[in-house]
């Protein structure tokens, strides 16, 4: 189709013209004021070399007729050459056709030796010869390679000749022949069956076969071992009989734990589901293949985008069509791939592990139920409606709650896991991990009888059973923080959008938005780590404690305290754990615990009393609580 003339048509659009009914079968180009044919185009063929030809077109301003005044007004509007091309607001000078002293145009210079065409912007203020060559303000030159339809002139160093006939029409044969000999190179991949592509197909086929093989192998192993299906087995209350989860006292007087400790164990055990997993060499290898395949998908997208920008010689795909098809297919596959990974990221590690019985596992998948309880429903029924909507979209059979996978550690002959800052010990009788506990005296007489200190071995066994006297919040490593930040649907959406921007020559805004998102991510990671660091500092309280251990007084760090230790209370001391007073009196500031500003006097437990010790009820006056001073 012929190019449009540069005449500004806004004036024509504002004119009130009588409507004309034109049928497509009988339409004539001369019936339309803006059609290029009304500008009497003249065609010239310019030869840069024997193989390089470019078609130049000269448009003439129409004269006469009802639209002549509109043509003159539009032709004399201010213009601007957009060269070199910029997307917004070119910085080149503005000019007028009817003022040669302001004229600007794109000048092409042909090199006959190299067949290269060099384009440069020339303006009258730097090239005085343009003024003399631009006296005729009724003509406009352009050429086929001038994609922005900028004002141009005949190229320097080229041989140009008219291909117009005497009757004013163009010689269609010469016009068709005025094209450069094909210099385009054949893309490397045209049939999609070339060797490099076949290798990629086979690699991903092998990967999916391997993934399917691992799934089948894992299913078979779990089917043959029926004891591994323990997710539906609810943890029951801690037994009142000797078990590996209960560390007894030195004299063996007590085989059960206190009622307060039992309540704590039941609360920690209620709604807790456990599943054992162990690593597999095959599963680890397949997981590594998943990581490599994910990185390869991004690399392939980047290669396709680079090919679109002509970074490969010869090109990989035909830029006119094949490249776009390949990009769209790869983009869709990559999007689905990463959305799936993000949606399953909490389970993906265990998917590549074998489910095994809890007594043989290396990891335990812990799920603490957190069922929603409606305390107050409004009469309008809105809360009930919202609850139904949530249940409709929620996954069927999915248990809500806090879930994580923790490693199994063997300490002092015990298999233990740490979950929500509480130590669980594997109990053979239960076939599960249960909260560790220590069998201590249940009444005042028993406590006084046991207040003689612990031996080193007994203290070590108790610490192994219930854990250290500290609440250590783990500070995640920097790679973990980065992974938690970026492995979300928001960032996957952003990354896939930016791939589209980069592909469709919107790379400038793509770079800006990429920098903005990366900057925001860095700020989020830094802020989150600062908050986590503050929490770690708050929870890691350490103080020196004078303890009677192995028949002598020692100064230990507070995390090394064990249940049943005999401790000497210092003045103005922040208590590191709950303690029962067996000798002496003290005044305690419990404002941080109860909000009460007045100090509270504490007394030792009474002698020769069988009353049950309960620090949450009647024994508060005999107890120093952790965090008080």
Please report the DSSP string for 547-597 in residue order. Answer: EEETTEEEEEEGGG--TT-EEEPPTT---SS-EE--S--EEE--HHHH---
Please, is 12 exposed, middle or buried when counting C-beta atoms within 10 Å of its C-beta (0-12, 13-18, 19+)?
middle
Token pair in block for residue 482 = 């980065």
Q: Rounded to whole angstroms, how far apart are CA atoms 549 and 551?
A: 6
Kindly state whether residues 326 and 292 are assigned to the same domain: yes
Kindly state whether residues 69 and 151 are assigned to the same domain: yes
Kindly state whether residues 105 and 253 are assigned to the same domain: no
Kindly state whether residues 108 and 68 are assigned to the same domain: yes
Whether 567 contacts 545, CB under 8 Å: yes
Kindly state whether residues 482 and 429 are assigned to the same domain: no
Is residue 209 included in any domain, yes or no?
yes
Is residue 258 included in any domain, yes or no?
yes
Kindly state whether residues 102 and 196 are assigned to the same domain: no
Kindly state whether residues 199 and 337 are assigned to the same domain: yes
Q: Rounded to whole angstroms, how far apart are CA atoms 247 and 254?
A: 10
Cα distances (angstroms) measured from residue 244 to each of 241, 356, 434: 10, 21, 10
pLDDT of residue 5: 40
pLDDT of residue 45: 92
Is residue 629 included in any domain, yes or no?
no
Is residue 200 included in any domain, yes or no?
yes
pLDDT of residue 184: 59
The secondary element (H helix, E strand) that includes residue 10 is helix 10-14
Kindly state whether residues 17 and 146 are assigned to the same domain: yes
pLDDT of residue 236: 43
Domain count, the chain: 5
Kindly state whether residues 390 and 521 are assigned to the same domain: no
Kindly state whether residues 102 and 43 are assigned to the same domain: yes
Q: How many CA atoms lie within 13 A of 331 on its CB side?
A: 19
Is residue 508 included in any domain, yes or no?
yes
pLDDT of residue 28: 63
Is residue 465 included in any domain, yes or no?
no
Is residue 457 included in any domain, yes or no?
no
pLDDT of residue 294: 94
Q: Rounded to whole angstroms, how far apart are CA atoms 345 and 554?
A: 48
Domain assignment of residue 342, given as a range: 184-224+281-352
Q: How many CA atoms lie within 13 A of 92 on its CB side?
A: 25
Q: Rounded to whole angstroms, how far apart are CA atoms 129 and 131?
A: 5
Whether 552 contacts 453, CB under 8 Å: no
Kindly state whether residues 289 and 157 are assigned to the same domain: no
Kindly state whether residues 47 and 74 are assigned to the same domain: yes
Is residue 464 included in any domain, yes or no?
no
Q: Read off the CATH number of the domain in which 581 is found.
A: 2.70.150.10
- Give the residue from 520, 538, 556 where a domain finishes: 538
User: Which parts of the chain have pLDDT scores under 70?
Assistant: 1-37, 87-88, 112, 115, 147-149, 182-184, 225-261, 371-381, 383, 390-399
Q: Rounded to whole angstroms, how far apart are CA atoms 188 and 304?
A: 13
Q: How many residues does the chain have?
A: 629
């Amino acid at each position: 189709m012929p190019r449009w003339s540069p005449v500004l048509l806004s004036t024509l659009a504002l004119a009130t013209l009588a409507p004309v009914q034109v049928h497509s079968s009988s339409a004539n180009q001369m019936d339309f004021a803006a059609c290029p044919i009304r500008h009497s185009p003249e065609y010239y063929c310019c030869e840069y070399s024997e193989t390089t030809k470019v078609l130049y077109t000269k448009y003439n301003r129409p004269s006469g007729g009802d639209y002549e005044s509109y043509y003159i007004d539009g032709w004399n509007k201010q213009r601007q050459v957009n060269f070199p091309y910029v997307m917004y607001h070119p910085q080149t000078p503005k000019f007028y056709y009817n003022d040669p002293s302001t004229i600007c145009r794109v000048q092409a210079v042909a090199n006959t030796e190299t067949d290269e065409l060099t384009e440069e912007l020339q303006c009258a203020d730097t090239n005085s010869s343009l003024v003399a060559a631009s006296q005729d303000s009724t003509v406009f030159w352009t050429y086929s390679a001038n994609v922005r339809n900028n004002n141009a002139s005949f190229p320097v160093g080229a041989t140009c000749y008219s291909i117009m006939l005497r009757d004013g029409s163009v010689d269609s044969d010469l016009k068709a022949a005025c094209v450069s000999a094909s210099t385009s190179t054949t893309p490397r991949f045209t049939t999609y069956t070339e060797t490099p592509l076949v290798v990629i197909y086979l690699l991903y086929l092998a990967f999916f076969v391997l993934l399917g093989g691992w799934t089948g192998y894992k299913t078979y192993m779990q089917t043959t071992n029926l004891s591994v299906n323990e997710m539906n087995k609810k943890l029951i209350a801690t037994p009142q009989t000797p078990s590996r989860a209960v560390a007894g006292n030195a004299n063996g007087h007590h085989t059960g734990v206190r009622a307060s400790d039992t309540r704590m164990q039941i609360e920690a055990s209620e709604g807790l589901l456990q599943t054992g997993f162990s690593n597999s060499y095959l599963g680890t290898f397949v997981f590594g293949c998943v990581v490599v395949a994910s990185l390869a998908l991004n690399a392939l997208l980047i290669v396709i985008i680079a090919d679109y920008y002509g970074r490969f010689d010869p090109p990989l795909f035909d830029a006119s069509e094949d490249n776009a098809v390949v990009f769209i297919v790869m983009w869709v596959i990559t999007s689905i791939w990463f959305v799936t990974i993000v949606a399953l990221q909490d389970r993906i590690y265990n998917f590549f592990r074998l489910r095994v019985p809890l007594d043989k596992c290396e990891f335990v998948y812990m799920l603490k139920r957190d069922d929603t309880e409606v305390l107050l429903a409004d009469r309008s029924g809105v809360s009930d409606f919202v609850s139904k909507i949530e249940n409709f979209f929620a996954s069927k059979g999915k248990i809500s709650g806090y879930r994580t996978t923790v490693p199994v550690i063997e300490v002092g002959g015990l298999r233990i896991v740490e979950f929500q800052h509480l130590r669980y010990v594997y109990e053979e009788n239960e076939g599960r991990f249960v909260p560790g506990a220590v069998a201590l005296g249940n009444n005042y007489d028993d406590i006084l009888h046991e207040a003689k200190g612990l031996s080193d071995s007994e203290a070590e066994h108790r610490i192994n059973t219930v854990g250290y006297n500290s609440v250590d919040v783990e500070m995640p490593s920097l790679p973990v923080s980065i992974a938690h930040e970026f492995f979300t649907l928001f960032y996957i959406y952003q990354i896939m959008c930016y791939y589209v921007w980069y592909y469709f020559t919107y790379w400038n805004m793509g770079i800006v938005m990429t920098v903005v998102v990366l900057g925001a991510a860095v700020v989020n990671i830094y802020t989150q780590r600062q908050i986590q660091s503050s929490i770690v500092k708050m929870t890691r309280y350490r103080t020196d404690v004078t303890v009677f251990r192995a028949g002598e007084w020692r100064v230990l760090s507070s995390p090394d305290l064990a249940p049943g230790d005999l401790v000497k209370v210092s003045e103005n001391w922040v208590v590191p754990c709950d303690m029962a007073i067996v000798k002496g009196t003290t005044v305690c500031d419990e404002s941080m615990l109860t909000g009460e500003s007045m100090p509270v006097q504490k007394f030792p437990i009474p002698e020769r009393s069988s009353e049950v010790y309960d620090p949450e009820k009647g024994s508060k006056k005999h107890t120093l609580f952790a965090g008080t001073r």
